[in-house]
Amino acid sequence: MTSALIVIDVQNDFCPGGNLAVAGGDEVVGPINAMMAAFDAVILTQDWHPADHLSFASNHNAEPMSTTEMPYGTQVLWPDHCIQGTNGAAFHSDLDQNRADLIIRKGYNPKIDSYSAFFENDQTTKTGLAGYLRDRGITELTFAGLALDFCVGWSALDAVKEGFAASVQIDACRAIDFDGSVDRILTEMKSAGITLIGA
């Protein structure tokens, strides 16, 4: 029991028709389902925001995709998305949830955004995922899902910081590509020693 597939935020709001749709977001579902059998464990993450989340542009009377400064750094202000209990927060209906050993919900603190599966954006508050993986003896992680340049990339980088071997299945991800974000995250991941598969 050494390997896990970490499936990041394959939720309706990140798929076509959703409030923060990633182009081709639904195209990752088939490849991810096909990958699951090759791993000892499968973990799903789920953005799970309260309606008053401070990462939402609507709560600042600001334009979506503008930025503001938070105590933990610069924050992109997103359209309202993945609000707790809504259809937008639900997993894509074709995603094989039955294979999931664990679902990690993140972003539920209204004052801190949470891209990574391991830490909220303050880089201090833990989700508990690292401890769970260590307790199970899992050392090798492969990431896939949405979106490559935010939640997938940040999760992979944090995995390395936490001492795990990390790879990203690039062809089972899709990106927002906001202001050069894809090039930045790919450069950071390569520098951190993360293996990029299917790039």
Which is the catalytic residue, given 106, 113, 158, 173? 106
Active site residue 96: no
Active site residue 111: no
28-to-6, 57, 140 alpha-carbon distances in Å: 13, 27, 21
Residue type, 80: D
Which is the catalytic residue, given 15, 82, 151, 173? 151
Give strand pairing partners of 78. Answer: 56
Residue 151 CB neighbour total at 10 angstroms: 25
Active site residue 173: no
Token pair listed for 26: 């639904």
For 182: left if phi > 0, alpha if psi spans -120 to 50, otherwise beta; the answer is: alpha
Residue type, 134: R
Spatial separation of the C-alpha atoms in residues 8 and 14, rounded to whole Å? 11
CA angle 11, 16, 17 (to 5 degrees): 95
Which is the catalytic residue, given 9, 47, 80, 158? 9
User: Catalytic residue numbers?
Assistant: 9, 106, 151
